[in-house]
A and B are shown apart, each in its own frame.
Chain A
Amino acid sequence: MSLYHVQKLLFHLNNVPSVRRRFDAEREALLAEYRLSDEERRAVTHADVGKLHLMGVHPLLLAPFAGRVGLRWPDYLAALRRAREAAGGG
């Protein structure tokens, strides 16, 4: 696990327009520049916010990322709740 690097990627995605453009145009190449595990890479690639939440990504990094990938606010919250329930956290 490399939570720091996942969060660093989201921080850049949220704040740096050129990183955002690369996320859309060449996602695989961009993600290769960050030290992510396969599981983390998959979660970011598919914008699996529930998974990222369970991994411990800070909500103030995750919520803007969800907005960037077009997830509506109620759907974002529902995804987090579903992930918690599936993990037995309620």
Chain B
Amino acid sequence: MPLVFAGTANHAPGITSRREAATPAQREVFFSAYAELRARLERARLDALVVVSSEHFTNFFFDNAPAFCIGLAEAYDGPSEDESFLRIAKTTVPGAADLARHLARAASAEIDLAHSQELLLDHGIMVPLHLLVPQMRLPIVPIIVNCLMPPLPPLARCYDLGCALRRAMDAREERIGLLAAGGLSHWPGTPESGRLNLEFDRGFLHDFLANNRQRLIRHSDEEISTSAGPGGHEIRAWIVASGATEGLIGEALCFEPIPAYAVTGCVATIAVV
């Protein structure tokens, strides 16, 4: 079986670290959407989950900043953040190493992918895993996108990576899921933290659900920085998911502004089978 599940969601640390800071109504909408995504993921009976997230100075720095890096390890430790802060227990998540090697090899025909046998998982991957596969037993293939240290990979290149991954996944026997985590507009670590750009978020989500490649990749980096903040560059993870589900229409499970989490709560899924 090829790709059988695709989902996208926020990964802001506030989702777990200050869960109660959102209003009860916001929590109901947002966590219900995450629960629905989890139910669909479980129904897909996955053998492995490819998780696309962004770099946050956890694994890479300005001395060595790959555009895309795929994990080839048998296991991954996380979260890198203090347990007392993120409120997710330190654990070891199994890696789908054989699948990862296949994806790296196959996708490399089209995209230059860095690879690593040791990646730490930060909130970018651990927050969604905590909400979707809390037992942390589903083997994963992490893919880290440089959304942080310019020059960043062009949006079109992120879409192409998704297309290449899809072809590589479809050649496999396993039931594979794809989860892209990050965004949308946010200003992490700055005095503007908590600011949201609903117009940007709504527009991007609209283009994402329609899988409108032309509109998804039209944003310049300057425009993203201005309109969606430094964290807005994490739309790259979503665009990888769009490439992997080219031609398919998505479904929004949630669009809820939650300033306490510093993001608009966005959860979506694309029916791929």
Say yes or no: B191 contacts A60, CB within 8 Å. Answer: no
6 pairs of A and B residues whose beta carbons are closest in the complex = A59-B189, A63-B189, A11-B61, A59-B190, A80-B191, A81-B191
Shortest C-beta distance, B145 to chain A (Å), equals 15
Within 8 A of A (CB), among B161-216: 188-191, 193
Q: A8-B62, A8-B63, A63-B188 are in contact. Are A77 and B57 (CB under 8 A)?
A: no
What is the interface of chain A, defined by CB distance below 8 A to chain B?
4, 7-8, 11, 14-15, 58-64, 67, 77, 80-81, 84
Q: A15-B58, A58-B57 are in contact. Are A77 and B191 (CB under 8 A)?
A: yes
Q: A77-B191, A80-B191 are in contact. Are A8 and B56 (CB under 8 A)?
A: no
On chain B, the number of residues with a Cβ less than 8 Å from chain A's Cβ atoms is: 15
Chain A residues with Cβ below 8 Å from B190 are: 59, 80
State the majority secondary structure of interface residues on B. Answer: loop
Report how far A15 CA is from B57 CA in the complex, Å. 9
Say yes or no: B63 contacts A59, CB within 8 Å. Answer: no
Closest chain A residue to B120 by CB distance? Answer: A15
Say yes or no: B57 contacts A67, CB within 8 Å. Answer: no
Shortest C-beta distance, A48 to chain B (Å), equals 16
Chain B residues with Cβ below 8 Å from A84 are: 191
Within 8 A of A (CB), among B45-98: 56-58, 61-63, 80, 85
Which of B62, B80, B193 has a CB less than 8 Å from the CB of A7? B62
Say yes or no: A77 contacts B148, CB within 8 Å. Answer: no
Report how far A64 CA is from B85 CA in the complex, Å. 11
